[in-house]
């Protein structure tokens, strides 16, 4: 007679991986939800065209990249932009642009912090991520985003006109991006980096406590 396997011991490695995955999914879901909310809380700033809106939705993916790694930061950025597609007013191009910039921010910062897990490393990661995001904004807008906008919303002259109402010298697409979009995106990245540096440590302790609570509940 074959021995029953109902009392066979569980694989502890498999159980540990399951707990870790549950914690990871929970954190990703929480940070994605916060990112969705922050993406709605956008506002205009002086000295830039009104369609360039400032928000702090990159903070959750930056925190996710620190806590879980750069891939998770990109996943959080992707989820919040997919959700935002439901109310898109830019024919989905705004969300594509937001994803490309946010992903470059999360990957850069996450990789640097993964190699240097110190306070100085986190600061360097945030600053480098902000500069990379600003740099990426120029080619991504020049080659992808603005040509599509021009096709949909009346031509490049219409778009440049919005810049020239503020600065008449911004008479080419590249000039407009370098004068306005580049510093605007850098400012946004640095502001998100500053907030992240303030709240990351308390949040990381919260995530550790949450992980312990999940493990204890599953163990019981």
Phi, psi at 120, each rounded to 5°: -65, -40
Quick one: pLDDT at residue 153?
A: 82
Q: What's the predicted TM-score (pTM) here? A: 0.86
Quick one: pLDDT at residue 51?
A: 87
Quick one: pLDDT at residue 18?
A: 54
- Structural domain contains residue 46: no
What is the domain-level CATH number for residue 78? 1.10.1760.20
Other C-beta atoms closer than 10 Å to the C-beta of 85 total 12
- Structural domain contains residue 178: yes
- Structural domain contains residue 128: yes
Quick one: pLDDT at residue 22?
A: 85
Q: What is the mean pLDDT of each run of 10 residues along the chain (220 residues)?
A: 40 50 91 96 91 94 95 97 89 91 97 95 97 98 93 89 95 96 97 95 81 67
Tell me the two tokens of residue 44.
Answer: 């205009």
Other C-beta atoms closer than 10 Å to the C-beta of 37 total 12
What is the domain range of residue 180? Answer: 28-37+56-201
How many domains does the chain contain in total?
Answer: 1
Contact 105, 129 (CB under 8 A): yes
Tell me, what DSSP letter sits at residue 44?
Answer: E
Quick one: pLDDT at residue 89?
A: 78
- Structural domain contains residue 177: yes
Tell me, what DSSP letter sits at residue 154?
Answer: T
Quick one: pLDDT at residue 91?
A: 78
- Structural domain contains residue 107: yes
Quick one: pLDDT at residue 21?
A: 84
- Structural domain contains residue 44: no
CA distance 136 to 161: 23
Q: Which residue has the tokens 């705004």?
A: 94
To 5 degrees, how large is the angle CA 119–CA 98–CA 148?
150
């Amino acid at each position: 007679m074959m021995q029953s396997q109902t009392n066979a011991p569980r694989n502890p490695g498999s159980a540990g991986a399951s707990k870790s995955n549950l914690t990871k999914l929970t954190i990703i879901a929480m940070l994605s939800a916060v990112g969705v909310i922050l993406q709605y809380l956008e506002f205009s700033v002086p000295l830039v065209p009104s369609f360039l809106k400032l928000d702090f939705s990159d903070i959750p993916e930056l925190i996710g990249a620190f806590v879980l790694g750069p891939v998770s930061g990109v996943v959080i950025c992707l989820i919040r932009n997919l959700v935002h597609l439901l109310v898109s007013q830019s024919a989905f191009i705004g969300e594509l642009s937001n994803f490309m910039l946010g992903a470059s921010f999360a990957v850069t910062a996450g990789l640097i912090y993964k190699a240097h897990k110190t306070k100085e490393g986190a600061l360097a990661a945030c600053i480098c991520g902000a500069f990379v995001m600003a740099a990426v904004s120029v080619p991504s807008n020049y080659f992808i985003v603005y040509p599509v906008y021009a096709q949909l919303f009346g031509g490049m002259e219409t778009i440049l006109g919005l810049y020239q109402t503020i600065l008449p010298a911004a008479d080419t697409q590249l000039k407009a991006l370098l004068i306005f979009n580049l510093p605007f995106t850098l400012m946004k990245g640095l502001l998100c980096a500053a907030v992240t540096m303030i709240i990351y440590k308390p949040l990381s302790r919260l995530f550790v406590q949450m992980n312990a609570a999940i493990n204890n509940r599953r163990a019981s």
